[in-house]
Structure 1
């Protein structure tokens, strides 16, 4: 399988180790035709961008790199956080409109939109690790939060579904299929993604294989995601960043 893009990479603007140009150069070295710069949204405690305004600086750096490296398409994106049980995300609407690609997902270390969401998305999810009776309830709440986000915002990709926070991936996949939102096969988390992919593959949802790179050396390292796709015999037509068949 030949993949032409990596749509999930981080830089020093959030939790990454390299610059925008470092990631671009790494993507070119990997032979990619497209790369997205998708730093963590500002609600990620300690690791997110300082504010949505940081996206303006990233955009400026992308524009400089695009002129310097015309052989690759560089996309402005963000890995937004779902910060409420109503599906709110931490990127304001004016900035959403500036993006080439919008990634979103649930994370544990976030600043929630309100107290109720904080109790549910953070505290109760943590407690559900120790209280079995909370598990099913949190699976429902988590799934609903992601679905509401997908229905409210032009989310292109839901990142690492089910990682650390339990969700019903089959139900989510049905909604994403109708909305034209892809589900991520995250190469950094490897086999942790395989169960969700197997369940989601029962629907008509599409997938994208990303690196979730936090250093330039990881950009374009998509082998683990490819391995999962091969093992589950996914139709290449369902993987939006592949350009040939298995």
Structure 2
């Protein structure tokens, strides 16, 4: 399977990442990709981008080197009530809103607590994707959240980066994918690239999906057309925010 839209990437606006938007777009073009989403870390993480970064994303051209650019963010889930760290008026303008738990930003708890946090996120109409949620430190009721994700038109991410930096998450990532397959819930497969050379790299994630015979039709970011169609069904128009 070839995935032509990467929905989770970081530029040096997140200072533990190392490439510019221009470098990312050039690399994506050379790799034959159709589109990338620029989804830098929101402000609550220690080196996240300032809120102004997200308010000013429209300064980035919508196409660079023939690659479509989606404006996005990776927001932080802050607490058990599912509060996040960007204002609604900013999120409403973005093409892709990824939501993740990062330990420095989140109040710890047990699986019941984490399930409550994810329930609030899946019920938030401004969130599009639940990201890298396989961490055993933040285990939750996968069946319950994935059922609600299907009902609320949310996507579940299978994050290739987790196979390198969150190895303890791998068994849970597989379990999440198996539940999504069984329930026919759409996923995105992302690189979570923090440098150009990881952009479009999904080898480990795709290998796992192949092992469980995951259907290609449920990989919603396989191309831009499929992603746009899914978002349109949700009631969200991409590329609506311009200079």
Pairwise TM-score range, normalised by the shorter structure: 0.7 to 0.9
Secondary structure of the residue aligned to 1:7 is strand
Superposition RMSD on alpha carbons, in Å? 1.6
| Residue deviations 1:130-174 (CA, integer Å, cap 9, x gap) | xxxxxxxx1111011011112023211100113242122221111
Determine the C-alpha separation between the residues in 2 that align with 1:148 and 1:203: 21
Matches within 5 A, 1:207-226: 207-226=187-206
Matched residue SS, 2:39: strand
1:56 lines up with 2:51 in the alignment:
no
Task: Determine which of 129, 146, 153 is the counterpart of 2:125.
Answer: 153
- Given candidates 186, 192, 211, the residue that maps to 1:231 is 211
Counterpart-to-counterpart distance in 1, 2:153 and 2:33: 24
Task: State whether structure 2 residue 220 is matched by structure 1 residue 240.
Answer: yes
Once the 2 structures are TM-superposed, how far is the Cα of residue 76 of structure 1 from its aligned partner?
A: 0.4
Name segments (4+ residues, structure 1) moved above 6 Å: none
The answer on whether the counterparts of 1:155 and 1:181 sit within 8 Å (CA) in structure 2 is yes
**Deviates further, 192-201 or 8-17:** 192-201
Gaps of 5+ in 2: 224-243
Shift of residue 7 of structure 1?
0.5
Mapped pair 1:82 → 2:66 = no
> Which among 95, 98, 103 is matched to residue 93 of structure 2?
98
What is aligned with 1:127? Answer: none
Contact 1:161 1:169 in 2 (8 A): no
Q: Any residues of structure 2 matched to 1:61-210 within 5 Å, and which?
A: 62-63=60-61, 66=62, 68-69=64-65, 71-110=66-105, 121-122=107-108, 124=109, 138-163=110-135, 164-190=137-163, 192=170, 193-210=173-190
1:180-199, Cα deviation, whole Å (9 max, x unpaired): 11100111112712232223
Aligned residues: 214
Q: Give the structure with higher Rg (CA).
A: 1
Shift of 1:239: 0.6
**Structure 2 length normalisation: TM-score?**
0.83
* 1:220 Cα offset (Å): 0.7
Q: Which runs of no fewer than 5 residues in structure 1 stay unpaired?
A: 113-120, 125-137
Once residues 179 and 154 of structure 1 are traced to their aligned partners in structure 2, the CA distance between those partners, rounded to angstroms, is: 11
Q: CA deviation at 1:77?
A: 0.3
